[in-house]
Structure 1
Amino acid sequence: MTTRWTNHRLHDAAGTTTGGRIPINLWHVAQAAAEETLQGSLLAPAWLKLFQSHLSVRDPYFLRWREDFAESAEIRRAYSGLYGRFFARALLTQHLGFSRFISLARNGVKISGSVEVKRTKSGDIPDWLAWDSRNSNFVLCEAKGSLTANDFHNASGPSCVRSGKAQFGRVQTTSNGTTIYPAQWVAAVRWATDERGGTPTTVLWDPPSDGQPFTDGEAQVHFEAMTRAWLNSIASGFGYESADDILSAEREKNAVVVVAPNGPVPEERHWKDEDIHDDTLTDTIPDVGLAESPADEPDIPFSDSPVYEDRSDLLMPLPSEKKPHSAKYLLAVVNRFGIRPIRTSAELDSARRDQERAQALKEPAMLIGLPSKFSLEQRLGEKRWVDESGIAESGSLALFDLRTTEMKAPEGGLPS
């Protein structure tokens, strides 16, 4: 239920294009959506059901949306843009190892004690500043999604990628008054629907940059500054005011033990087949092109790409976990009405009532967790657990299906 496939292209800074078919585990996308939601994105309830409300039931293999995505053109464009952010962020995280995404908003962002990204020209600017731990450097990222583009296999890349590349030239990044040159990645998705047909395509495209890696000491300073900024951006969702509150020793008294079972979700707990739409979405993107065009040139297999070297987990669906997952988290419940932290015994009781409703299939709900032992130094993905009940990853947010997850108060209980 949680895996769909797309045709995928990766174009690196050296000009090499690799391609082939890849699976997308929808828990990675929901994890990205949960983080976006904590950081203030509009809550689209369908991600709470791993997009099952919108996915095609006629085609259970490809990443294809049922009917025509939504009834009106305005809502189609809104979902295309919003889901484009979710899927792009998942691709950038899962395939390239990026983390600590911070929105550039309208005019850029300043990371205390680290760097500043500032708008220098009119027009759209990239979506995020993030951290690339593999290369010890910053990275600017842009998300694109299209329902109608016909050029996703062009040698020069789709037009939405080219417009995304132009956005990198509208900002300047400085550190201690000196201009630096982060890496630049565009992640794009060409959607497919039951009505429009076509083959879904995902693209990761790296325009060349002149960036120089930091020393180990510099990289650690910047990574910790980005982590602190990221914690500040999600703190309110967990009931805290700032990163300092999350990192304090006091957080342990609010930590809840989570036990998520391995294996498939029981048949009786499959979500009802119903549409969930959020008519408050109003963002629009322009339509471009018509039908998908064939590839202009053959792609090099993923096995020949250094990005996917020793990354077989990206190229085949993951097997079921052999053991349940159990760990302590700072927790929040998220449902179609919003986000509520779980810090007290009363809030835990309320979350259990949410669980009872979710188990009765009356409303979808998830648990978002930040590991209670989280630290500024902890890197992304040192250990990962992914199954039908959720996803947990060291150095990052965890996400669990509330219906199948057990919540236990810590020894001594939670504050009243």
Structure 2
Amino acid sequence: MTRTFLHSFDPAAASPVTGPTVDLEVSDIEDAGIREVLQTPGAAYGAWSILDALLAPTGTGTPFIFREPLGQAREVKVALSGLFGRFVARAYLERHFNLSIFAHLGSQTIDLDRRRQVKVKRLFRGDLPDWIACASDLSLLTVAEAKGCHDVGGPAKALDRAWTQAGRIDVTAQGRKVTVKRIAIATRWGMAVAGPADVHLSVRDPVDEGEPIDPEEKNALFIGLLRLHIANLIKPLGHAELAGALHRLTHQPFARRLQDDLGRARALLDAAPVRDVEKASAIGGLVGGIVTRAGPVTDADVAPADQEALARLNLRPVFVGIERDLIRAAIDAEPSAVRNRLVTAVHSDEFARYDRAGGWIVPLGLERRISGET
């Protein structure tokens, strides 16, 4: 179902949409929420799965208006507003900026390739931006921060806070600043009752020019970003060892030890359970797990009957997985193989939804099940 937001963009000439509104599919926002909840430490619960039920029942093509305020206590409003703001912002970036690979920021320095000294560097004190992201062809390096707010006067103050946060890091290679696009996104919620009536999505988006870097450093940057994207997604799905191996590849400064780490990562991938989507031959073997309203199901094997039972109980089970061949290319640091795989057109599927980063979300139930060997 499509919902709309009043849209403002700075600079206006660079806006990815025309007209005063922007539309997003609620299902795209929920899919972004699934990925965001899985990749964000400490947020592994099914908030994504209640989004549609919270909206005013005004139908497709109408504004994204909540039935009522997001809770009564201030701390509840702040928590849900921030979380839902990230869901909306990520769906917006995925659809209108073609971004598909997201790494979350949470420490002072984040290595993308320590051996080549490619990293994310903190510039100022305070919370870091939400993401460093890029497109599926390993381009459009972007630093982004999302805010949600209830400000009666509009999203301007929240956008200013988001913009400040987006400027707290640089991406550097051998100490040289890399060109990035910085994006701040603020969503001011609209309420059917007891709150602002209009929903706003406000964006600030200049490019921050840096210095040229050589092709090897550029490839290392994007491969490191992809490794973190994969690791953060599969860790809560029962693949903590493989996720840890991917993280070590970005941290390892020594060439000889890196070869040992590569061997370990390949062995863990070979041992990982590979799942197939029934009735979808175009989708290759996936590494991942089942997620419900209650969070990930970490058991290695969930029988088809159990998948159907979860659906009957309205737990909204979905299988979230990444193509095994893409994980192999990320481990082997093969940028050409990654680009070729991710830019290849993917056949549409009636049920499974593709994220342009080798990832699939497959609703489970009577029509669709996941099978495979452990």
- Whether TM-score is above 0.5 comes out as yes
Tell me the equivalent position of 1:80: 81
User: Measured at CA, do residues 105 and 255 of structure 1 come closer, stay the same or move farther in structure 2, by a change above 3 Å?
Assistant: same
User: Measured at CA, do residues 367 and 132 of structure 1 come closer, stay the same or move farther in structure 2, by a change above 3 Å?
Assistant: closer
User: Measured at CA, do residues 103 and 46 of structure 1 come closer, stay the same or move farther in structure 2, by a change above 3 Å?
Assistant: closer
Post-superposition CA distance 1:185-244 (Å, at most 9, x none): 112212111112522222332134123565555432321121122222223233221336
**Bigger shift: residues 59-68 or 373-382:** 373-382
Tell me the equivalent position of 2:184: 186
Tell me the equivalent position of 1:401: 363
Once the two structures are superposed, the pairs formed by residues 372-391 of structure 1 within 5 Å of their partners are: 372-374=324-326, 375-376=329-330, 377=335, 378-379=338-339, 380=342, 382-383=344-345, 389-391=351-353
Does the CA contact (< 8 Å) of 1:64 and 1:191 recur in 2?
yes
Post-superposition CA distance 1:73-107 (Å, at most 9, x none): 32122110011111111211221122332222153
Tell me the equivalent position of 2:294: 337
Identity percentage of aligned residues: 22
Post-superposition CA distance 1:160-209 (Å, at most 9, x none): 22222222443343211223342211122121111125222223321341
- Is structure 2 residue 312 aligned with structure 1 residue 359? yes
Does the CA contact (< 8 Å) of 1:9 and 1:204 recur in 2?
yes
Which amino acid is the alignment partner of residue 87 of structure 1? V
Query: By how many angstroms is 1:333 displaced?
Result: 1.0
Post-superposition CA distance 1:138-166 (Å, at most 9, x none): 321111111225244xxxxx222222222
Distance 2:268 2:164 in 1: 45
Query: By how many angstroms is 1:406 displaced?
Result: 2.1
TM-score (norm 1): 0.70
User: Measured at CA, do residues 338 and 408 of structure 1 come closer, stay the same or move farther in structure 2, by a change above 3 Å?
Assistant: closer
Counterpart secondary structure, 2:54: coil
Query: By how many angstroms is 1:63 displaced?
Result: 1.0
Distance 1:405 1:337 in 2: 22
Tell me the equivalent position of 2:92: 91
User: Measured at CA, do residues 384 and 76 of structure 1 come closer, stay the same or move farther in structure 2, by a change above 3 Å?
Assistant: farther
User: Measured at CA, do residues 384 and 73 of structure 1 come closer, stay the same or move farther in structure 2, by a change above 3 Å?
Assistant: farther
Post-superposition CA distance 1:240-298 (Å, at most 9, x none): 2133677658548722221479xxxxxxxxxxxxxxxxxxxxxxxxxxxxxxxxxxxxx
- Is structure 2 residue 173 aligned with structure 1 residue 219? no
For structure 1, the residue ranges without an aligned partner over 5 or more in a row are: 153-157, 262-323
User: Measured at CA, do residues 7 and 133 of structure 1 come closer, stay the same or move farther in structure 2, by a change above 3 Å?
Assistant: same
For structure 2, the residue ranges without an aligned partner over 5 or more in a row are: 247-261
Distance 2:134 2:309 in 1: 39
Does the CA contact (< 8 Å) of 1:9 and 1:19 recur in 2?
no
Counterpart secondary structure, 1:83: helix
Counterpart secondary structure, 2:203: strand
Post-superposition CA distance 1:274-324 (Å, at most 9, x none): xxxxxxxxxxxxxxxxxxxxxxxxxxxxxxxxxxxxxxxxxxxxxxxxxx9
Post-superposition CA distance 1:28-78 (Å, at most 9, x none): 2222222222222513424125x1221222465221111223243321221
Distance 2:352 2:271 in 1: 23
Tell me the equivalent position of 1:52: 52
Distance 2:140 2:47 in 1: 34
Tell me the equivalent position of 2:320: 368
Distance 2:272 2:124 in 1: 48
Counterpart secondary structure, 2:90: helix
Higher relative contact order (CA 8 A, sep 6+): 1
User: Measured at CA, do residues 9 and 135 of structure 1 come closer, stay the same or move farther in structure 2, by a change above 3 Å?
Assistant: farther
Once the two structures are superposed, the pairs formed by residues 56-67 of structure 1 within 5 Å of their partners are: 56-58=56-58, 61-67=62-68
Does the CA contact (< 8 Å) of 2:320 and 2:361 recur in 1?
yes
Select the structure that is richer in helix: 2
Once the two structures are superposed, the pairs formed by residues 306-345 of structure 1 within 5 Å of their partners are: 326-341=283-298, 343=300
Counterpart secondary structure, 1:189: strand
Query: By how many angstroms is 1:387 displaced?
Result: 7.4
Distance 1:325 1:27 in 2: 22
Post-superposition CA distance 1:397-416 (Å, at most 9, x none): 21122235522534xxx13x
TM-score (norm 2): 0.77
Distance 1:335 1:239 in 2: 14
User: Measured at CA, do residues 151 and 71 of structure 1 come closer, stay the same or move farther in structure 2, by a change above 3 Å?
Assistant: closer
Query: By how many angstroms is 1:368 displaced?
Result: 0.8
